[in-house]
Structure 1
């Protein structure tokens, strides 16, 4: 087994933490532990988004770097008479990746109970039905209980979260990292490392490292935390689609793992701000930091909510090419993560009132 260095230990702690939309407390506590040493103060907004503030220069431009705390998962909605759990998806799921996957149900007391997602066996289905994907509404979680009373005696009740289970793994190629919840604990890690690397740097800004809540169900925490901060410049750091697996054409997804973070030109939630986009790519070109462009007809990031706050905030989504998102496990490349941190740090060091004014009206 690969020995985990300081960075990998942080990434493991973040991805191991359990937190579907509306249940982000455990993840928030982990992020707070790692970011607090590099911040002047750490607070939360009314929905629970974490906001860590680090002042480079009093009164300087406010720069928001936000990853979201929540991961896709499930909320328990009902316990049937036989002890099987019915659930509501929290965030987007493709039914074909769900069956027979292990989950962890977390009770109010914090006890963790193992379950597996099941459905009617294919052996008893008509041939034509067997060929079709199982509807999510026909799935259930089996925790090994024999009755509703037994499940309730274990502390399970409607509203509890069920989270995909996966062990953080450094692959044989040690640049490749496999874990649950890269969407979007990698963004939280980037926000932490940006503040860490700026700790002893001179710059003219007030930087906010933010862990937002409820991104997967509508960018909700980004809206409330940005309302609290009122930033002058915003960055959403998230995962993007890696197009380097079999069957994917460059027309469908251009980015490749290990070739740099993605600068998102367009998605369903936002058109990236041209002035900020040009500023960021100019810095990357100057320093030789690799990057890739991306555009998505669907989906969105926290930038979609952040850029509409107040009278408008120049915003850009910087994403990490990732395989198999919105499933039990995903894979990304460590170099892309480290280059995203480097790029954002160098951009922030070059921001000041004059450059922000130029960006805003570019």
Structure 2
């Protein structure tokens, strides 16, 4: 359904992000035509995205495409698309754990999954990497209820909790095979627990790790170093040329200030995240539990329990992670990862894209078929 009829769409806040959710059948099957339509829906390219749904920031220019799954291990398939703000680009080379928080409720409301009487669990296959997640959320009386008393940092007020558990993936936790590498002259830990992330002590790059995101973004010298490290890390992590990709993420680590395990400043890829992504935090938490990693001497891990509190510029994110550090020739593996997020429907209806001005853009390279994109 396009043109004067609009396109059926649900705008949702998922975690600390906001995105447009679509059924796959409501979008063109051709990736180029689909991406051209999404650019016009979101209002890109334009720094303000004034003529579309986007909010002028990568965190508010996201898309979820959802459909029934043919995988017996999943109920629905979820394709995440990052729509660039200031350039005509749509990419599927990463997952988004924040937008993931809204997929289960969206699937129930659109009739893809039947609701339970009190709560519902939806098994989700993330097409970007092939990984699975299970989202559990309240459905009193068989209806999605977004109201509740769960609060997450970076989001005003409270909402219903969405508990997201990530089964162990097939890919290595340490993509390079090493708990510590030297990349572009800097000691780092490269980890992938759902999102490829490069962990770096903030002090190694001349930062404290407590700066405001805007101040870090204005540091030209830091931006150049981040780019250099990210490009080399992409190669050694098996991601290839990441010049035009948003992964791997980079997280600067500093000792905690608010009772958590660590303070972070995360870049996507050079803009500093005002909080931290769910999957990025899952990778950070797992990386902190690796003996010999760069987090040693920085992080203050709890003496008992699996919960790791990751501090970020606007608060914290709790990740429950259980890691077997491995011994000898046995590599480390993650036995369990779970996070608590919230999601809220903002509107449901039809969105009207601006008129087509150019031919559909070419489809971007698919992260879902990139061997090293898996966890």
Quickly name the TM-score band, shorter chain normalised.
Answer: under 0.3
Structure 2 length as normaliser, TM-score? 0.27
Q: Looking at secondary structure, tell me which structure has more helix per residue.
A: 1
Structure 1 length as normaliser, TM-score? 0.27
